[in-house]
Structure 1
Amino acid sequence: MTPQARPLTGLEAGFFAYGSRPTPVNLQIGGLTLFTGTPPPLDEGRRFVTSWTDAVPALALVPHGGGRRSRWVVHPALDPDLHGRVWEAEPGGLRAAVDAVMAQELPPGAPPWQCWLIQGYAEGEWAVLVKAHHALLDGASLIQVACRVLGRASAEEPRRRPRRRGRGTDLVRVARGLLRYALRFLPVATGAFAFEGSGARRFEWTAVPLATLRGVADRHGCTVNDVFLAALTTVLREWPHTPWRRGPRPVWTLVPADLHERDGDDEPSAKVVNLRVALPCDEPDPRRRLRALARATAISKRSGHVATGAAGSRALPVWLVSALLRLTFSRWHIDLLASNVRGSRRALAYEGTPMTGMVPLGFIPRGHPLGAFLVSYADQTCVGFAVDPALPGGDALCRLWEQAVDELDRLEVVETSREPEDALD
């Protein structure tokens, strides 16, 4: 299927503009997939990569023009030397290889994504890193790409798509929810991190059993996303670079909400609305922290912010969506980004070799020092941290995360009238 040239959406144009000014910021996001066995030959791997546009037509698109005339146009053919690359890692150097690959710029004038085969870091192990500009793909879309090219199918069963609303209907929704949506930018974030990010990043990650997080969620009447945020709150409490040591102030966290399922759209693209949730780092009781976050996410879902934001991203002028995106990521609005992406529900494989794990590789907004990302695959949940390399103690985040999950798992059950479906997924 041939993709159609089209104008950039406000959100897509906003990501391109945000990444280029006033100072550049690396807006590449990625997914690292892990395998065991013998890595594929280079030529075979490149042929595999250049066939991806058959399964994911959006990967053939390249941005063209500037300003209001910016469009996605169809690139005539993928260059296997540009889009299928190999990184020979040092023994034990998987993390260093990931940091180096994610720091490299995407090739100009080509579809803004790449696939890297990483090998040499361990005997009988290899990895595939797919990265893309956030304007082309978001975290949910990366999962879709993995499912289509490694599973030869979409991550979800085919659904009946709802009828799309017209621009007039979207503008009415925006008008009705404008005041409430604007008030979500208050109160102003008070600077959770004294350190200002440099724009560089390195990655740390660790995995825990998915059943552990689901068990905590089921016992306490909340969702896996609530457990993720509660564990992250504990990590930041124990980490010596967060604000609660300087007073009872919240850490304002940006939590993206995926719009693909809401719109019945399985085509990979950038399609999110960002919600703001306060992490109660000053609360000493882990049970109260979990309950406070479960309540906060439920309120965010019922507030109508997701529907208003979705309508605005479709109907508002590109320049206004871009301005709101810059405001959303600013340091006076949030302190860090925390994203939970639903993983594949089916086993994935490369030419019969099963995939053993998946690692999320997110971006850090301009001026911020830290981001946290969660993804599940098979029976494991992986948390990944993107950390400014100038920030000390970043390697301790994974150890603190494991301890935080264990603490939540050992909490005694308390009675609650809240149902899990009241919260964000």
Structure 2
Amino acid sequence: MALVSPPDAAFLFSESRATPMHVGGLQVFELPDGEGPGWLRDQYALMLAHDDVSPLFRKRPHRSLRTGGQWMWRDDEQLDLEYHVRHSALPEPGRVRELLALGSRLHGSLLDRQRPLWEFCLIEGLEGNRFAVYTKIHHALVDGVSSLRLLERSLTTDPRAEAEPPWTYRPRRRDDDADGSAPNPVDAALDTAIEVVRSGRDLVTLAPSLVRTARRAMDEELAAFPFKAPSTMLNVHITGARRFAAQSWSLPRMKAAAKAAGCTLNDLVLAMCSGALRRYLEAHGELPKESLTAMVPVSLRVDDSAGGNAVGAVLTSLATATADPGQRLSQIRASMEIAKDTLRGLSPVQMLAVSAANMMPSPIMSMLGGGEGLRPPFNVTISNVPGPRQPLYLNGAKLQGVYPMSIPYHGQALNITITSYVDNLEFGLTGCRRRVPHLQRLLDYLEVSLTELEAAVEGGVGPVAPASAGLRPAADQFPAAPAATAAVAAPTLEASVTSGATATSAMGKATAKRATRTRARAKKSTRAKAAATDPAAKVTSRRPDNPPPRTGGSSASAGKTTAKKASAGKTTATKATTKRAATTRSTAKKASAKKAGSDR
């Protein structure tokens, strides 16, 4: 057994049914030319034949009195590959909508801690002669960068080459993983203490650097600090259900805009997300006066280790209190410069200390249920991870897109993760299904934000259609965005995605007819109730388009109206009296006739 490091153990401690701590993703592939569903079934059988599972994918967490309560990694010697590697099919018609719904459900379920913490699912039946792969692996095993690297290594750049499943990959082993014996808990604690003492010198020299950075930050009022973020609808206690939305944007387009603005691509991505979040919160009446704060993870990985987490973090202002897109970009760029200055020149230990100060409140807040009533350490996590630069293949099937899925938790109901693939930037938005309503609207707002930034850049480029809509469903499959975005066109959808629009339109017409019938029945019921209480209502209820009574008109007109109503009331009353009298006479006649018959 091997000791689970403290950063990795934090993901195990903070996990609950409402906060699964695994990362994942959807990969979309084109079937090879001339191949059908049978090809995918053959691939599934071929994958199960690769049963030489690497140690990383055999690990399962374990703790007991013998381990001193510390989490340890134990190898699963009876691994059931068919449990971890699955084959599913989308319901017809197999649109992107069905794929996103399935991916959302799979991502919301916990991994079984009695087994190694990973799953791999082949998904057939996607329109356009395509299929998908959903993967998830616990964050205690790998970080986001590691999971992408595993994906790259399991695919090939040559369509004719044979790919090997990710669970067969064997990374370089660490020295401390070579010994399979269980460590003594006392020795492990002592080693940790010794390492802290060795690092003490670095931590002592860190203080002056942080003081200088903090002084500059306060002078310029641009830096972000933990627990200074405003509370929003995104910073609440969450539930376990997830919703996922994804889209691709052209990488050349975004690089051109960043170059024209004189900023980095990451700065532009942050400004794009800032504008989208500002518009989303504004549409819900939840935009705070103070600017949002984002946590931006940065990779500290320097070698190819056997999994684990090597991720740091900086905090940056998203300048959402600023309406002008150009000024907002400038403020975000300045805030990121201050954050990066903090890390420049620091030793690895110092970098970890600063990152821990930024990230540590997150698992603690999650374990405490989100810290209701407290200011959040930050408002949203926005992660940008470099991905493959060349087209990749799975035994001849070309990879179309890679869409990352990450971790919402208590106090952080939304996560935005971006990765690159060839000439696209792939955005993956993972949110709590209950706390982040209409998540897909953020895709519209991201495009609006990018278009505004392009227009704001001095001498910048004009709007260019994105290369692909990625996993964006047809627009009529979701509620329409607010009118504020109507003036800006949404990204062009790829043909294979919009092929389901006709069927969806027919569904929409049928739904409209049902809604019309429902409204008609409701009106009929209302008229009946009104007639029962006020006979005069029968006259007016036949005219639903009657205008309301005018105020401020002549008194004569009002008097005539009152007189008419009174006359109508009298007429109705007279009719009712006459009817009752006739009924009484008829009853009396029947009674007399009956009595006469009995006398005879």
TM category, shorter: 0.7 to 0.9
The alignment's C-alpha RMSD in Å is 3.5
Distance apart, 1:133 and its partner CA? 1.2
Q: Which residue of 2 aligns with 1:253?
A: 294
Out of 419, 432, 438, which is 1:388 matched to? 432
Note the C-alpha offset of 1:266.
5.1
Whole-Å separation in 2 of the counterparts to 1:167 and 1:46? 49
1:25 matched residue in structure 2: 19
SS in 2 for 1:394: coil
* Residue matched to 1:203: 244
2:205 matched to which residue of 1?
176
Q: Which residue of 1 aligns with 2:404?
A: 360
Whether the 8 Å CA contact 1:64–1:71 is kept in 2: the answer is yes
User: What is residue 379 of structure 1 aligned with on the other side?
Assistant: 423
Does the C-alpha gap of structure 1 residues 203 and 312 become closer, same or farther in structure 2, counting only changes over 3 Å?
same
Q: How does 1:179-198 map to 2 (within 5 A)?
A: 180=210, 185-186=225-226, 188-193=228-233, 196-198=236-238
Deviation at 1:251, TM superposition (A): 0.8
Larger deviation, residues 299-308 vs 90-99: 299-308
Deviation at 1:6, TM superposition (A): 2.3
Residue-by-residue CA offset, 1:65-104 (whole Å, 9 max, x unaligned): 1565322233325422211112221222111110111122
Q: Which runs of 5+ in 1 are unaligned?
A: 416-425
The 1-side partners of 2:359 and 2:255 are apart by 37
**What residue is the counterpart of 1:138 in the other structure?**
143
For residues 383 and 110 of structure 1, do their structure 2 counterparts lie closer, same or farther at Cα, with a shift above 3 Å needed? Answer: same
CA contact (8 A) 1:233 1:280 kept: yes
Are 2:343 and 2:351, in contact at CA under 8 Å, matched by a contact in 1? no
Determine if the alignment matches structure 1 residue 118 to structure 2 residue 119. no
- Residue identity over aligned pairs, in percent, reads 23
d(CA) in 2 for partners of 1:52, 1:206: 34
Taking structure 2 as the reference length, the TM-score comes to 0.59
8 A Cα contact 1:171 1:311, kept in partner: no
Task: Provide, for residues 307-363 of structure 1, a one-character-per-residue CA deviation record: whole Å limited to 9, x for no partner.
Answer: 45644499x9xxx99965534766621111111111112322111211111001111
Partner of 1:418: none
Which is worse superposed, 62-71 or 198-207? 62-71
Residue identity opposite 2:204 in structure 1: A
- Residue 477 of structure 2 corresponds to which residue in structure 1? none
- Residue equivalent to 2:74: 73
Structure 2 vs 1, CA of residues 207 and 148 (structure 1 numbering), >3 Å: closer, same or farther? same
Among 281, 302, 308, the residue aligned to 2:320: 281
Of Structure 1 and Structure 2, the greater helix share is in: 2
The reply to whether residue 337 of structure 1 matches residue 381 of structure 2 is yes
1:28 aligned partner, one-letter code: H
The aligned runs of 1:260-271 (5 Å cut-off) are 260=301, 263-265=302-304, 267-271=306-310
Matched, 1:45 2:34: no
Measure the CA separation in 2 of the matches of 1:322 and 1:302. 18
Which of 320, 330, 335 aligns to 1:291? It is 330
Name the structure 1 match of 2:492.
none
Shift of 1:41: 3.8
> Within 1, Cα distance between the matches of 2:286 and 2:71?
46
- Match among 2, 11, 25 for residue 7 of structure 2: 11
Is the contact between residue 344 and residue 377 of structure 1 (CA under 8 Å) also seen in structure 2?
A: yes
Contact 1:10/1:313 (8 A) holds in 2? no
Distance 1:194 1:89, change over 3 A: closer
Who is 1:60 aligned against? 58
Q: 1:99 aligns with which of 100, 104, 110?
A: 104
Structure 2 CA distance for aligned equivalents of residues 194 and 112 of structure 1:
28
Q: Secondary structure at the match of 2:154?
A: helix
Contact 2:236 2:410 in 1 (8 A): no
More strand by share: 1
Q: 1-side partners of 2:389 and 2:304: how far apart? A: 18
Provide closer, same or farther for how the CA distance between residues 178 and 313 of structure 1 changes in structure 2, counting only shifts above 3 A. Answer: same
Tell me the matched-pair count: 394
Q: What SS class does the counterpart of residue 204 from structure 1 fall into? A: strand
How far did residue 137 of structure 1 move?
Answer: 1.6
CA-CA distance at 1:148 after TM superposition: 1.2
Preserved contact between residue 227 and residue 378 of structure 2 (Cα < 8 Å): no
Stretch of structure 1 that moved more, 205-214 or 385-394: 385-394
Task: For CA contacts below 8 A with separation 6 or more, give which structure has more relative contact order.
Answer: 1
1:84–1:114 contact (8 Å) kept in structure 2: yes
Provide closer, same or farther for how the CA distance between residues 53 and 168 of structure 1 changes in structure 2, counting only shifts above 3 A: farther
Quote the Cα distance in structure 1 between the aligned partners of 2:228 and 2:60. Answer: 37
Q: Does 1:150 align with 2:155?
A: yes
CA contact (8 A) 1:209 1:379 kept: yes
Q: Does the 8 Å CA contact 1:340/1:375 hold for their aligned counterparts?
A: yes
Write the letter of the residue equivalent to 1:385.
L
Question: Structure 2: which 5+ runs fail to align?
Answer: 157-162, 165-170, 175-194, 215-223, 461-600
User: What is the distance in 2 between the residues matched to 1:210 and 1:322?
Assistant: 29
Query: Would the aligned equivalents of 1:191 and 1:332 in 2 still touch at CA under 8 Å?
Result: yes
**Maintained 8 Å contact 1:231/1:408:** yes
- SS of alignment partner, residue 45 of structure 1: helix
**In 2, Cα distance between equivalents of 1:205 and 1:41:** 24
